[in-house]
Every structure is written in C-alpha cells, then in structure tokens.
C-alpha cells in the first residue's frame, strides 16, 4: 500500500535530539510527497483530543520544523504518564485499574487516514509501537533515551549529550571538592543501567563509580577514601547511578504510580550519609537529574538523530514494518521491534570501559 500520510509520536522522557529526528523524518517524508502529522504528548493527542486547543494533532510542515535541529525537548510534546497499554482508568465504583487502549489507537489512526506511524521513544514507547504493529498498524520505531539501555542499537541519541554535560559538572566539582576537602557524591540518571555513570565517571576521573550492575559494599568505598586521605588526597569524587544498589539490597525508589514506571532517586544521598558516618569526612550530594535531559544535542547526537529520522522514512518507503532503526556502525540498519523491546542493555562487566576504570584505579565499591 502506498503511503500518503504519516504520523509522528514522541514518548517517554525527552532526550536531546528528538527535534532533529522530527526534522529529518518530516523533510524526508515531504520530499516523497507524504503529509506529516504530529501527535501531541505521546498518544494523548489522539486519545484525548478535547485536552488540546488544536485538537491534539498538528500538521508538520516545512515551516513548523524550521530551525529546530539544535533545540532540546520535542516540538510535539511527550509524556511518561498514562502508558496506553496500561492506561489508568476509573471504574464506576471509583477504584482504578490499568486498561490497554492500543486497539483504540489503531482505530483512531485509521480514522485519521494515517498510513504509517513513526514512534520515537525508549523501551516503553517502542513496546507500545510493537503492540500497534501486531494489531495491523504500519510502524517504524526510532530508539531514544539518554540512558542508552536499549538493546540492538549500539547507541541512542541523547546519551552523548547527557554524558558530556555530566562530565562537565564533575570537572567543576573537582575544584570545590579539593578546596573544601570534601567528598562530593554526584547522582546521575540511567534507570537500571549504569552507562551514564560509567562514562561520566571515567571521563571525569572520578575516584569511585557506583552502577546497578555492580552492587557496592559501603565499607569498600570508605576504605578507598581513607586510602586517598593517607596519600594526602583530602577530597574524593563519587559518581552514583540512580539505580545503584548495595550488595544484598535494592535500588532506591521515590514513588510508583499507576500507569507509569517507578521513579528512582535517593541513591546518592544514601551513599553520602553512610560515607560521612563511616569516614567522618564532610560529604555533599549533587543530583544532576533532569539537567541531563536538557540543552542542545551534541554534534554526535544531532547526527545520529538526523540519520535515524531520515532512515525511518526510508524504511517505510522500502516497505519495512514492525522494525526499529538502529546504529550498527558505520551504518544504520533495521531490527525487528520484537527483538529490540522488553529487554535491557546493561553494562557488561567485562567491557573495556570497566577494565579501563579499574586500570585507572577507580573503585566500583566491590
Ligand atoms: O529514561 C530516561 C529517564 O531520564 C531516566 O534516566 C529517569 O529515571 C527517568 O527518565 C525520569 O523520568 P521522569 O521524567 O518521570 O522524572
């Protein structure tokens, strides 16, 4: 079936590069004579048009995508609340349950004469995209996350920007840590994978890196700080992934609400408190949090995002369906969504970045 009209959706936490994907995809589509529609905030624009003054669906024209390549965020909005596969829905008796609304999405897309969907998102959004594909929608996914935890692609856009910014922050913390002879604990995002913490910690020459893949022993970290003290290094920098956990323990959760993933947080504060107790050294925590998701994408992320956006349209043009575009250097290739979703790419314990860190004398608290 030939394509006349496509829809674009951005879902989950935003990542620098989303607008670059939109721009490349829309240009490539317009060049083929296709019409492009942006769905506001994931699939909310489709499911809840009454919430939007413009009806929730916006035409994406060459005008609307002008000058957005370098902008963070997403011009069509995103959400990580109300997963349409688990939409919080109220029963008549007032209680809530999670309802699968993917059938409704397929119907609504067809009603809007949408021939194909480009879904730009992380594991959650791509799992929804796969469900829509299985229900008859023509779908191509574009992998996005600052966490870099998506399988079957070497990298996702947003990750490089997040690591570059976090490394800059660690660089800045060195001087103040040394001036005050403190331990500085820097907590970074990444969910259940330690990619951001690992790459930031190695690039920023941290003394300790704590990642979910290597549960830590607080005594080992305290020992590292004492050793540094003995050598006359009266300050230390510790990079902690938000998903880091102690040996025999679990990661720190702030909250779990219906229809959304659990919120992580507090890992850095726990490490800082326990270290201060153990070493007697003044210890401060900096949580970088959402700062890692903002700002201008690095050149690396822009290029990946532009390549992914254009490749998604080429894939549709070539008749591909139910696939995700993925970076397999030096090229972009297609991987079935089924193979890319519902799994997580965590840091392999024998990867050379971990080996490098150990060779540099960085402790993982193990
Ligand atoms: O998945 C991206 C991510 O930034 C995670 O690193 C983090 O745990 C989560 O999103 C935070 O999401 P929210 O926007 O709900 O705070």
Give the distance (Å) from ligand 1 centre to CA of residue 191: 7
The pLDDT of residue 82 is 75
Give the distance (Å) from ligand 1 centre to CA of residue 113: 33
Burial label for 86, CB within 10 Å (0-12, 13-18, 19+), is middle
Question: According to CATH, what is the number of the domain 5-157+297-329?
Answer: 3.40.50.450
Which atom of ligand 1 is nearest to 261's Cα?
A: 15
Output the DSSP codes for 26-43.
Answer: HHHHHHTT-EEEEESTTT
Nearest to 196 by CA among 156, 233, 146: 146
H-helix or E-strand spanning residue 136:
none
Give the tens place of pLDDT for each residue, 36-72: 999 999 999 999 999 999 999 999 999 999 999 999 9
Ligand 1 pocket, 288 CB below 6 A?
A: no
Give the tens place of pLDDT for each residue, 62-89: 999 999 999 999 999 999 887 899 988 9
Cα–Cα distances (Å) from 123 to 46, 147, 304, in that order, read 21, 11, 18
Nearest to 337 by CA among 163, 134, 175: 134
The pLDDT of residue 110 is 97
Q: What is the mean pLDDT of residues 208-228?
A: 98
Ligand 1 pocket test, candidate residues 123, 147, 346, most atoms within 8 A of CB: 147
Same fold, 5-157+297-329 and 162-293+348-359: yes
Which atom of ligand 1 is nearest to 260's Cα?
A: 15
The answer on pLDDT for 274 being more than 80 is: yes
Cα–Cα distances (Å) from 364 to 76, 96, 214, 343, 359, in that order, read 40, 42, 7, 24, 12
| Domain boundary assignment for the chain | 5-157+297-329, 162-293+348-359
The pLDDT of residue 1 is 73
Give the tens place of pLDDT for each residue, 155-199: 999 999 999 999 999 999 999 999 999 999 999 999 999 999 999
Burial label for 326, CB within 10 Å (0-12, 13-18, 19+), is buried
| Residue 66 CB contacts under 8 Å (≥ 6 apart), including other chains | none
List 14, 123, 147, 301, catalytic entry: 147
The pLDDT of residue 15 is 98
Ligand 1 pocket, 190 CB below 6 A?
A: yes
Long-range contacts of 60-63 (CB under 8 A, 24+ apart): 60/8, 60/22, 60/26, 60/36, 61/26, 61/30, 61/36, 62/26, 62/27, 62/30
Ligand 1 pocket, 251 CB below 6 A?
A: no
Q: Which residues pair with 120 in a beta bridge?
A: 10, 142
Give the distance (Å) from ligand 1 centre to CA of residue 189: 7
The answer on pLDDT for 300 being more than 90 is: yes
Is 147 among the residues known to form the active site? Answer: yes
Give the distance (Å) from ligand 1 centre to CA of residue 289: 8
The pLDDT of residue 83 is 87
3-class DSSP state for residue 151?
A: coil
- Ligand 1 atom 16: the closest Cα is on which residue? 263
- Decide which of 262 and 285 is more confident: 285
Ligand 1 pocket, 191 CB below 6 A?
A: yes
Give the tens place of pLDDT for each residue, 233-266: 999 999 999 999 999 999 999 988 777 789 999 9
The pLDDT of residue 257 is 78
Q: Superfamily for 162-293+348-359?
A: Phosphofructokinase domain (3.40.50.460)
């Amino acid at each position: 079936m030939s394509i006349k009209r496509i829809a674009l959706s951005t879902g989950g936490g935003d990542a620098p590069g989303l607008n670059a994907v939109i721009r490349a995809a829309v240009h490539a589509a317009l060049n083929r004579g296709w019409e492009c529609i942006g769905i506001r905030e994931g699939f909310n624009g489709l499911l809840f048009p009454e919430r939007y003054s413009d009806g929730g669906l916006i035409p994406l024209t060459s005008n609307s995508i002008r000058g957005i390549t370098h902008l963070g965020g997403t011009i069509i909005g995103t959400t990580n609340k109300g997963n349409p596969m688990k939409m919080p829905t109220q029963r008549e008796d007032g209680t809530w349950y999670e309802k699968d609304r993917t059938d409704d999405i397929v119907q609504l897309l067809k009603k809007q004469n949408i021939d194909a969907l480009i879904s730009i998102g992380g594991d959650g959004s791509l799992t929804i995209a796969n469900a829509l594909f299985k229900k008859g929608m023509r779908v191509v996914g574009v992998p996005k996350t600052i966490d870099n935890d998506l399988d079957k692609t070497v990298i996702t856009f947003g990750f490089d920007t997040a690591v570059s910014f976090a490394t800059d922050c660690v660089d800045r913390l060195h001087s103040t840590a040394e001036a005050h002879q403190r331990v500085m604990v820097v907590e970074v995002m990444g969910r259940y994978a330690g990619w951001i913490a690992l790459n930031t910690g190695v690039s920023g020459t941290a003394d300790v890196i704590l990642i979910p893949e290597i549960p830590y022993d607080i005594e080992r970290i305290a020992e590292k700080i004492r050793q540094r003290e003995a050598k006359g290094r009266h300050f230390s920098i510790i990079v902690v992934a938000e998903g880091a956990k102690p040996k025999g323990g679990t990661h720190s959760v702030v909250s779990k609400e219906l229809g959304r993933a659990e919120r992580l947080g507090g890992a850095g504060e726990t490490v800082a408190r326990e270290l201060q107790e153990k070493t007697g050294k003044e210890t401060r925590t900096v949580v970088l949090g959402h700062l890692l998701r903002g700002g201008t994408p690095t050149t690396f992320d822009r290029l990946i995002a532009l390549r992914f956006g254009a490749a998604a349209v080429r894939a549709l043009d070539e008749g591909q369906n139910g696939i995700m575009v993925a970076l397999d250097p030096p090229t972009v290739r297609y991987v079935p969504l089924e193979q890319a979703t519902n799994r997580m790419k965590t840091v392999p314990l024998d990867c050379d970045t971990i080996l490098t860190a150990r060779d540099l004398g960085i402790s993982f608290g193990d």
